[in-house]
Amino acid sequence: MLLSGIIAALTSLLLPIIILLLLLPNACYVVEQQHAVIIERLGKFNRIVNAGFHMKVPVIDRKAATVSLRTMKNGFGIDVKTQDNVTIGLEVSAQYHVSYDMGAGPADSGIYKSYYMLQEPVDQMRDFITDALRSSIPVYTLDEVFAKKDDIAKDVNATVSEQMAAYGFTLVSTLITKIALPTEVENSMNDINAAQRKRAAAQELAEADRIKRVTEATAEAEAMEKAGEGIANQRKAIALGIKDSLEIIQETGVGNDEANQLFMFTQWSEMMTEFARTGKTSTVVLPSDFSQSASMFEQMLAAGKVQNESKE
């Protein structure tokens, strides 16, 4: 009797301990940083707990969901048509997170809405973005889509952010990361760009050639002008020299005719000396009789005529 009483006492003492040990792991739990846990009691929302150590009533309470508060990314691709009827492929990337707004009460918080109000929030957000892009892209031409893709993405982000806020999500940003063109359109655009670059290069070369020609013509005109001035000054100096020489000769009492003949003879002699010095002539005409000035003058004229005929 005593032994059975002891066993019954130990059993009554150990049974609650065993039950407590079995239920304790289910009663205690830890919530990680940047996470929140939704607790339900008997199938009904009870509370939201944040990061740290917590306890719940076993069997009665349960962790309905663990919600991540970190920013997440989702990427997908869609096909859209531009205003000029070009079908393009867009690669879109969306960054989002559960709203941190706690609202007036737990049921108004972003955590509550993100779990209870939408079955597939990511798919729904993707549908919203797709619909917004397919509504906005057709008002732009292909070139405008490339030029304004960031503005288009900002407009889409603003529109979808309002829609997703009702479901407890904050859309941080929407990015159009790539615009894919049909092969024939891409080849055509490359050909157009190549043609434009060739045309620009041809225009630059033509302009450079024009500038070169104008510069050369200007330089040539200036050179000819300077050469003309030099020749004119040279002839003026020669004329003044001839005038001074004749005046000096006439002061000695020599007549005009004799002075002219003497000057012509002097010029002829200098010419022959220059021919001999340079060595650039193959024929030299000498007078047969230096005593007769008339004969010398006629021979000079004959020599000039022969030289002109040889050039022709």
> d(Cα 98, Cα 80) in Å, to the nearest integer?
29
Q: Which range (17-21, 152-156, 235-239, 281-285) has the least confidence?
A: 281-285
Whether the pLDDT of residue 300 is over 60: the answer is no
Q: What percent of the chain has pLDDT over 90?
A: 25
- Mean pLDDT across 195-208: 81
Q: Which range (76-80, 177-181, 286-290) has the least confidence?
A: 286-290
* More confident site: 89 or 187: 89
- Per the listing, tokens 């405008």 go with 144
> d(Cα 159, Cα 190) in Å, to the nearest integer?
35
* pLDDT bracket for residue 102 (50, 70, 90): confident
pLDDT at 157: 93
* pLDDT bracket for residue 161 (50, 70, 90): very high
Exposure string over 67-83, b if 16+ CB within 10 A, otherwise e: bebeeeeeeeebebebe
How far lies 211's CA from each of 199, 202, 206, 208, in Å? Answer: 18, 14, 9, 5
Whether the pLDDT of residue 283 is over 90: the answer is no
Q: Which range (141-150, 259-268, 278-287) has the least confidence?
A: 278-287
Does the pTM exceed 0.85?
A: no
- Mean pLDDT across 277-296: 56
* pLDDT bracket for residue 197 (50, 70, 90): confident
* pLDDT bracket for residue 303 (50, 70, 90): low
Whether the pLDDT of residue 35 is over 90: the answer is yes
Q: Which range (56-70, 97-111, 192-206, 231-245) has the least confidence?
A: 231-245
Please state, rounded to an integer, the average pLDDT across all residues of the chain: 79
pLDDT at 27: 79
pLDDT tens-place string over residues 107-122: 888 999 999 988 888 8
Angle, to 10 degrees, between the axis of helix 293-311 and the axis of helix 256-278? 40
Instruction: Identify the top-confidence range among 12-21, 98-107, 272-281.
Output: 98-107
Structural domains of the chain in order of their starting residue, each with its CATH number = 26-70 (no CATH), 72-181 (3.30.479.30)
pLDDT at 232: 77
pLDDT tens-place string over residues 53-88: 988 888 888 989 999 999 999 999 998 888 888 888
Residue 280 structure tokens: 């650039």
CB 105 within 8 A of CB 46: no
